[in-house]
Structure 1
């Protein structure tokens, strides 16, 4: 039996249970009915604790990159990666994508 999804709020810190990835929620759905399941490497992410240590860097390439923002397909959930990991971020089973940088206005 899968535990019910927790309500994600901006500022929540989450950690992967299968790799060293950690994220901070930047934007979350406003609707109380929509409770997305944020996962990394196929396992739901858990609230991060200060005592948890990220996994040491290995030879496997990092899929989740530190300092990058990831968004779901609908654009309602956005997270910022604070620690790299080898697992892929997913929201409700669909892979999250890197958020594209906004172009700066021309300074003429």
Structure 2
């Protein structure tokens, strides 16, 4: 799947939804709970059984990114599933330090 920047993806195993902030040119399979995410509003997607090893959860308002792959997702609705690409969990993006104001 190759979503466009600004599109929403939804999990088929829990309540997790994300917005695509950055996406590389290639097709990638983003998973949540070990099951591939779908475009939000995709009809007919049944709830699926998640992979128990992929259930560390997501946090509302946090960005998940991998600079090597070139992907960044913003969590708009938290859930129990882990966001991953190629079976590797996407790490939380670190906040940038603000400049000191001495």
TM-score range for the pair, normalised by the shorter chain length: 0.7 to 0.9
Q: 1:69 aligns with which of 54, 63, 66?
A: 63
Which residue matches 1:36?
28
CA gap of 1:105–1:75, structure 2 versus 1, over 3 A, is farther
Looking at structure 2, the residues matched to 50 and 66 of structure 1 have their Cα atoms a distance apart, in angstroms, of 22
When the two structures are superposed, what TM-score results if normalisation uses the length of structure 2? 0.81
Aligned length: 91
RMSD of aligned Cα (Å): 2.1
Structure 1 gaps of 5+ residues are: 1-5, 52-60
Once the two structures are superposed, the pairs formed by residues 82-93 of structure 1 within 5 Å of their partners are 82-93=76-87
Which residue matches 1:19?
14
Q: Helix, strand or coil for the counterpart of 2:41?
A: coil
Q: Helix, strand or coil for the counterpart of 2:74?
A: strand
CA gap of 1:89–1:64, structure 2 versus 1, over 3 A, is same
Divergent runs of 4+, >6 A = none
When the two structures are superposed, what TM-score results if normalisation uses the length of structure 1? 0.76
Structure 2 gaps of 5+ residues are: 44-54
Q: 1:100 aligns with which of 69, 94, 101?
A: 94
